[in-house]
């Protein structure tokens, strides 16, 4: 039996970052991972999807906007299969990068499927064999999450006509028609990708607007943009009478009492993810779960059983890679006895959706501020009035800042537009350090840049906007 200080079950963003931080703090570390290092994010999520979105962006620019910039191209040929293979290569490169970091930090990768087999013991199965390893200080569960279908309405995943994002990432060809069920970040990103490669996409969302976790103004703006690109956006949609065939899927869609029949080559189910908590030994040990089926943890990432910890998607929302990464760091520093550990600020985790236009946010939406009955003011600035946006032809969208009326505290910030997912971090830093809108304005923003829109939105919230 090999012995380590800490064993992580799962090598995704939470696990590999936590493992590296533990190693930096002098611990002997092992990570159990059956596939490739990097987990779902690197292999089947964030990284390959963003690689495809870059292909989609380039396809759209060449096909539709190049002429406006004085560039005339010939007949444009789109090949989803080539874009897919590039995305897989990018994913593999990232996974190899994590392997390099493990070697650099002397972290052991144990290939196989891990399970807690008793106090301080992890069993690993691989190739029909089983071996056990000791974790003297901690076992960390970071098994992540999995895609889920919608069997209750007849959309059980079959990897053929009813697919998840996993299968979408390895399609050889873009289908002629596709329905995407669920208009959260994943649904909107794939709507963007497949539309760029010639698919007629119908985007269906049961809630009143797409990107339902984002501010309503961003949802409205993205809906407008998608419809301009001929994406059929149906919010408040109820799906029924589903018939799954060998080469197509038919269904009835009811939106506000108006019914229509829909037939598509493929249905992509993007209706959320479920935590992977089965068959990892926690039930036998009595590890408590939340009402929603996630592993219950405290601020130190401890579960209800001493010596067992949980981080990442399996430990609850927001189910985002960067949230899991920070949990991994915080866990490691608490375990090492570090002083003044900065606990995870769950109220300041940025959201990022990488469709075009991009959507990013931090803090509360306007609806949430109203619900809390906080006295607030809103500042907005459109990219159509931003010089840098005009030069790049990326004038869709806006910056919206919600501030406390009395003190100028930034309650929430929302950006929709080009590079929104990069720009949001100025406001994440501001909120983490309790800067006010006045202090955002005091930082001189280079001209011309897209980020000037943030400064102008801050000024607008104070009634002092300059450029609009």
Catalytic residue among 64, 322, 356, 447: 447
DSSP-derived letter for residue 189 is: H
Is 150 in contact with 19 (CB distance < 8 Å)? Answer: no
Is 378 in contact with 365 (CB distance < 8 Å)? Answer: no
Listed in sequence order, the residues at least 6 apart from 262 whose beta carbon sits closer than 8 Å to its beta carbon are: 179, 202, 250, 251, 252, 253
Q: Which two tokens stand for residue 34?
A: 């059956």
Mark whether 342 is an active-site residue. no
Cα separation, 359 vs 340, in Å, equals 34
Listed in sequence order, the residues at least 6 apart from 274 whose beta carbon sits closer than 8 Å to its beta carbon are: 145, 146, 148, 293
Is 144 in contact with 37 (CB distance < 8 Å)? Answer: no
Listed in sequence order, the residues at least 6 apart from 178 whose beta carbon sits closer than 8 Å to its beta carbon are: 194, 199, 200, 201, 202, 264, 265, 266, 267, 268
Is 233 in contact with 203 (CB distance < 8 Å)? Answer: yes
Listed in sequence order, the residues at least 6 apart from 199 whose beta carbon sits closer than 8 Å to its beta carbon are: 174, 175, 176, 177, 178
Cα separation, 296 vs 298, in Å, equals 7
Listed in sequence order, the residues at least 6 apart from 418 whose beta carbon sits closer than 8 Å to its beta carbon are: 356, 357, 358, 383, 389, 392, 394, 396, 397, 450
State CA 466 to chain mean position distance: 35
CA distances from 87 to 81, 94, 96, 189, 336 (A): 10, 11, 14, 14, 38
Counting Cβ atoms within 10 Å, is residue 278 exposed (0-12), middle (13-18) or buried (19+)? Answer: exposed
CA distances from 91 to 16, 32, 151, 315, 336 (A): 15, 19, 30, 25, 32
Cα separation, 116 vs 140, in Å, equals 10
Whose structure tokens read 């479920």? Answer: 274
Cα separation, 133 vs 306, in Å, equals 18
Closest residue by Cα to residue 438 from 411, 424, 467, 458: 458
Whose structure tokens read 């006895």? Answer: 337
* Active site positions, annotated: 447
């Amino acid at each position: 039996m090999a012995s380590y200080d800490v064993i992580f079950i799962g090598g995704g963003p939470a696990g590999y970052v936590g493992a590296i931080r533990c190693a930096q703090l002098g611990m002997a570390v092992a990570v159990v991972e059956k596939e490739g290092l990097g987990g779902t994010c690197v292999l089947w999520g964030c990284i390959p999807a963003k690689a495809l979105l870059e292909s989609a962006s380039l396809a759209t620019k060449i096909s539709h906007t190049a002429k406006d910039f004085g560039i005339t191209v010939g007949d444009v040929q789109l090949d989803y299969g080539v874009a897919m293979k590039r995305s897989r290569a990018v994913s593999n490169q990232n996974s190899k990068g994590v392997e390099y970091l493990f070697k650099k930090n002397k972290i052991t990768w144990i290939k196989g499927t891990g399970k807690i087999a008793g106090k301080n013991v992890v069993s690993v199965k691989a190739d029909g064999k089983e071996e056990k390893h000791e974790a003297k200080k901690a076992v960390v569960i970071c098994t992540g999450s999995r895609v889920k279908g919608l069997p209750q309405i007849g959309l059980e995943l079959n990897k053929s006509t009813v697919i998840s994002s996993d299968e979408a990432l390895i399609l050889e060809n873009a289908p002629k028609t596709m329905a995407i069920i669920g208009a959260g970040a994943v649904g909107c990103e794939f709507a963007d990708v497949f539309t760029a490669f010639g698919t007629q996409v119908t985007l269906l969302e049961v809630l009143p607007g797409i990107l339902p976790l984002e501010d309503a103004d961003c949802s409205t703006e993205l809906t407008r943009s998608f419809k301009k690109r001929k994406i059929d956006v149906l919010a408040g949609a109820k799906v029924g009478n589903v018939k799954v065939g060998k080469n197509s899927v038919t269904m009835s869609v009811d939106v506000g009492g108006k019914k229509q029949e829909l037939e598509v080559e493929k249905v992509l189910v993007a209706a959320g993810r479920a935590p992977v908590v089965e068959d990892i030994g926690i039930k036998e040990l009595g590890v408590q779960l939340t009402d929603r089926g996630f592993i219950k943890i405290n601020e130190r990432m401890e579960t209800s059983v001493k010596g067992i910890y949980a981080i990442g998607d399996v430990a609850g929302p927001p189910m985002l890679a960067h949230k899991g990464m920070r949990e991994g760091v915080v866990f490691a520093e608490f375990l090492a006895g570090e002083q003044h550990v900065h606990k995870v600020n769950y109220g300041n985790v940025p959201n990022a959706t990488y469709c075009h236009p991009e959507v990013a946010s931090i803090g509360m939406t306007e609806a949430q501020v109203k619900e809390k009955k906080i006295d607030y003011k809103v500042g907005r600035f459109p990219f159509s009035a931003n010089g840098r946006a005009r030069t790049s032809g990326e004038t869709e969208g806006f910056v919206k800042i919600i501030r406390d009326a009395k003190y100028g505290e930034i309650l929430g910030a929302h950006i929709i537009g080009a590079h929104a997912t990069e720009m949001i971090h100025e406001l994440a830093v501001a909120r983490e350090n309790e800067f006010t809108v006045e202090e955002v304005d005091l930082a001189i923003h280079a001209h011309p840049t897209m980020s000037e829109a943030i400064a102008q939105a801050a000024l607008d919230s104070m009634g002092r906007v300059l450029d609009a």
